[in-house]
Amino acid sequence: MHDSQLTHLKFLYLTEAFDHRAKLLQKTGRLGTFPSSRGQEIFFLACAVALNNTDWYCPYYRDHAALLYRGYPAHALFQYWAGDERGNIPLPPHTLPINVPIGSQTSHATGVAMALAKTSNICLVTLGDGASSKGEVYESINFAAIHSLPILFAVNNNQYAISTPLNLQTANLSIAEKFSNMGLETQSFNQPNHPEQIFSFIGNAAKQVRKNRAPLLIEVFSPRLDSHTTNDDASLYRTEQELSDEEKLCPIRLYEQHLLEKNYSPKELGAIKRNADNDILEAQKYFLTLPKQTIDDLHSHLWASDHLGESR
């Protein structure tokens, strides 16, 4: 039995509870549009687990599990999605801010990887299948391949970019195939029945980048169990059958099953879940006690103080 598996489960439960509460807060007008990661939690968690503390993590906007694992306080994530700039303040070390302009995080990450070239650290950047069509993504991958940078491009292939399906992002069968001719190795993981193997798949990929000091692109096919965001309605473009078939692939439920088969007890798992639910409830309560941000809060953390020649 590996305690690390229970730690993984704890962060999956934290993410699940965070997701649940964020959607409720959005419905009651406390949060803005929120992108659920339901079905994709293990992908993001495994990306964070694959790194050391001094490696760099460059997220897009669905990375709640990874950010919680790297130490982002849950109340600050609620603040971020409520449009409160102060939610950006407690960024974990070696972690870039949440990035909503699609694909642009790959350029930032490639710059980070360039700075890491002569160290033993690596950089991991996440992106969606839709982002893989953006010019910056091609430019970043090309640059990273030419300069042999230590960067792992990790694609969360949930097969939709809002309502645009995968077959309109690529004429290939996968994103890994799409980039297979760009001077870097690409790998794909498509075994939704075995979400626990995502940890070793992404862990090995990170090891490979660390050892070879060269870029690698990986893709994990993951079910998207919620709509794109709280502002979207997937039933307008996905069939009921497709949605209910995907629900059976809920990675957290399959991971629980995997742990029970390994002789962890339902009681043990239940206690971890209750603690996680409670931690997120406390974070929500704290978030709701915070005073409203002021106009000054919108820009007081935007500029480095020495750049302006004045202290904050």
Ligand X SMILES: Cc1ncc(C[n+]2csc(CCOP(=O)(O)OP(=O)(O)O)c2C)c(N)n1
Measured from the CB atom, is 36 or 79 closer to ligand X?
Answer: 36
Residues forming a β-bridge with 128: 156
Per-position x/- string for 43-72, each x denoting binding to ligand X as judged by CB under 6 A, each - no binding: -------------------x----------
Does 94 sit near ligand X (CB under 6 A)?
no
Q: Binding of ligand X at residue 136 (CB under 6 A)?
A: no
**Calculated CA dihedral for residues 117, 98, 69, 57, nearest 10 degrees:** -10
Residues 75, 253: Cα–Cα separation, whole Å: 25
Strand-pair partners of 218: 154, 187
SS3 230: coil
Q: Which of 41, 55, 129, 256 binds ligand X (CB under 6 A)?
A: 129
Shortest distance, CB of residue 212 to ligand X, whole angstroms?
Answer: 27
φ, ψ for residue 273, nearest 5 deg? -65, -45
Q: Least distance in Å: CB of 161 to ligand X?
A: 3
The answer to the question of residue 251 lying near ligand X (CB under 6 A) is no
Q: Quote the least distance from Cβ 220 to ligand X, whole Å.
A: 12
Q: Does 160 bind ligand X (CB under 6 A)?
A: yes
Q: What is the greatest pairwise CA distance in the chain? A: 60
**Helix/strand/coil for 184:** coil
Stretch that binds ligand X, among 107-115, 152-160, 211-219, 284-292 (CB under 6 A): 152-160
What tokens does 53 get?
A: 């503390």
Site of interaction with ligand X (CB under 6 A): 62, 100-102, 128-131, 156, 158, 160-162, 228
